[in-house]
Amino acid sequence: MLFHWTRIIALVVVLTAFVLLYLFRRGQTTRRLRQLAKEAEVSKQQIIVEQQRNQQLKQEMTNNIAHELKTPVSSIRGYLEILLSDSPVTEDKRRYFLDRCYQQTLRLSDLINDVSLINKLVESSSLFPVEEVMLRTVVDEAIHDLSDKAATARINIENTIADTVVVEGNKNLLYAIFRNLIENAVSYAGEDITVGIECYRENPDRYYLHFYDTGCGVDNQYMTRIFDRFLRIDSGRSRKNGGTGLGLSIVKHAVQFHGGDIYAKNRDEGGLEFFFSLKR
């Protein structure tokens, strides 16, 4: 009889253990389901916020593009109206008006190209082919293309990137990074300055680059927005120099395309500098 009761007690203990284990696991499952539901709700809210943010950015960009198009289109229309009017125009003025129309069409072309490039980077980055690119060659090409403007402002550009620095990336985008950085310095940093480009560190995964100028720098209030689209620190000067306000935004997106990040700061010695990385 004792043995019989022992077996019954043992069976009850085992069943109790199974019930407790079941309840424990059920509790875990319930908590996990609740956690998953909470995470799903958070993700849903993040997606909604991101969609709203993208919609806002698109709306802002559309408004900015419309604003940027207004000035050159109005200028072209005004000059052409004068040329087509019955009022006599001297040959010098006629050539001047036609030259101004041509300059404004160049500005429109640059704006369209820059907007198209940013949209492609943001929405269709997979369309950019990649290959092995020697970075020094790309930088030298950008320096050469801007050599006349740099010479006019008496700006010395020093490229110390070694021939061994090779990036798996898109050559046109890499060119756009350095072209826009150099053009920004040449246009706005001042005269009689030095622009430097160097690879100051590397590891098995990345190259770390430093771009700087010894010019006037930027007011610190603009530093957190320096990569924003259509940001013009001095709008009058930017338009005079033909800027679209998209150059540094293109730089940021092109760096991100190559798996890197970028930030800017004023140099203690004077001027502006950029630190960024590129995947090897």
Q: What is the pLDDT of residue 22?
A: 66
DSSP string, 43-74: HHHHHHHHHHHHHHHHHHHHHHHHHHHHHHHH
Domain boundary among 127, 155, 189: 127
Number of domains in the chain: 2
pLDDT, tens digit, 9 for 90 and up, residues 204-221: 999 999 999 999 989 888
Residues 135 and 262 in one domain: yes
Domain with 235, as residue range(s), is: 131-279
What's the mean pLDDT in 98-123?
88
Its pTM surpasses 0.85: no
The share of the chain scoring above pLDDT 90, in percent, equals 46
Asked if 254 and 179 touch (Cβ cutoff 8 Å), the reply is no
Choose the weakest-confidence range: 120-124, 197-201, 273-277: 120-124
Domain boundary among 77, 101, 127: 127
3-class secondary structure, 276: strand
What's the mean pLDDT in 93-105?
91
- pLDDT of 66 higher than 80: no
Residues 92 and 142 in one domain: no
Residues 162 and 64 in one domain: no
Residues 193 and 242 in one domain: yes
What's the mean pLDDT in 173-199?
95
What's the mean pLDDT in 86-93?
86
What is the CATH number for 168? 3.30.565.10
Residues 42 and 181 in one domain: no
Domain boundary among 80, 99, 127: 127
What's the mean pLDDT in 23-28?
65
pLDDT, tens digit, 9 for 90 and up, residues 118-128: 888 888 888 89
Asked if 205 and 279 touch (Cβ cutoff 8 Å), the reply is yes
Residues 144 and 275 in one domain: yes
- pLDDT of 4 higher than 70: no
Distance of CA 131 to the CA centre of its chain: 21
Residues 97 and 11 in one domain: yes
- pLDDT of 69 higher than 60: yes
Residues 95 and 149 in one domain: no
Distance CA 21, CA 37 (A): 24
What is the CATH number for 115? 1.10.287.130
Q: What is the pLDDT of residue 114?
A: 86
Residues 86 and 163 in one domain: no
